[in-house]
Structure 1
């Protein structure tokens, strides 16, 4: 399964995401694509999640986040709303101030390009109970 996923994951696995590991329940990997600077005010990176990996609830301030799903299957959920199943080709627009999380399904690797402007406020973890309630029906 990983070999097929690696072929789909066009930007590559990258390095283990040590800098943000405390905000993920399992291993994730980061492949920076474009770093923000004085002329570009967004960061662009490919983020890969191992099966069952998810990030904590979080909010983006002074900007937004766009997710472009490139491989595997995952979830996106805004607080108080049902989770949305994601697959390659899906796109998600996350407005400033929206509490949300994203991550892999329990049985699939998952990769998305994250285009992020502003700063992130990291909140509580998505509980195992919340995650277990998600329907694996696609």
Structure 2
């Protein structure tokens, strides 16, 4: 009787272990719309500068030695920046998620993990997450002695949609 109980216990343990492993494999093969953060979320950006929720976390602050600002922005799905320019340009490194970037006068471009985007100096542009997936991006602002950013109007829903 004792050996039957032990066998049943072992069989149920094996069954649950296999079921859990199968569930983990199924979950990992399903595409995710969740974004994996590298840095803390940071402070929510002003509603005057962003449509939707965007969070900034500074990594390298402005100083006279490096003259470069580096940070991370997390855009929730559907969030985007206003139109803006940078006197010395901007480099974006997409670390996760899916989003859009547009230089004024050019078509909207999709950006995703691994992309590097260069925004030329004094050129109007915007960037943000796709409609259903968030976006993690690092930003690099060089030559901060020339200034940081000039903010402009919000990006319309029509422009965001790529129309």
1:119 to 123, 148, 154: 148
* Equivalent residue, structure 1, for 2:101: 76
CA distance in 1, matches of 2:136, 2:47: 16
- Decide whether the 8 Å contact of 2:108 with 2:162 is kept in 1: no
> For the pair shown, which has the larger CA radius of gyration, 1 or 2?
2
The answer to which structure has the higher helix fraction is: 2
* TM-score, structure 1 normalization: 0.85
Give 5+ residue unaligned stretches, structure 2. Answer: 1-31
* TM-score, structure 2 normalization: 0.73
CA distance in 2, matches of 1:126, 1:110: 17
CA distance in 2, matches of 1:107, 1:120: 28
| Within-5 A mapping of 1:35-46 | 35-46=61-72
- Decide whether the 8 Å contact of 1:69 with 1:91 is kept in 2: yes
Q: How far has the Cα of 1:79 moved from its partner?
A: 0.5
Q: Per the alignment, in what secondary structure is the counterpart of residue 21 of structure 1?
A: coil
- Decide whether the 8 Å contact of 2:75 with 2:134 is kept in 1: yes
Q: How far has the Cα of 1:94 moved from its partner?
A: 1.1
Post-superposition, which runs of at least 4 consecutive aligned residues in structure 1 deviate over 3 A? none
CA distance in 2, matches of 1:59, 1:32: 19
Give 5+ residue unaligned stretches, structure 1. Answer: none
Q: How far has the Cα of 1:82 moved from its partner?
A: 0.7
CA RMSD of superposed structures (Å) = 1.6
| Within-5 A mapping of 1:88-107 | 88-107=113-132
The answer to which structure has the higher strand fraction is: 1
Q: Per the alignment, in what secondary structure is the counterpart of residue 102 of structure 1?
A: strand
1:55 to 81, 86, 89: 81
* Equivalent residue, structure 2, for 1:86: 111
- Decide whether the 8 Å contact of 1:21 with 1:28 is kept in 2: no
Q: Per the alignment, in what secondary structure is the counterpart of residue 121 of structure 2?
A: coil
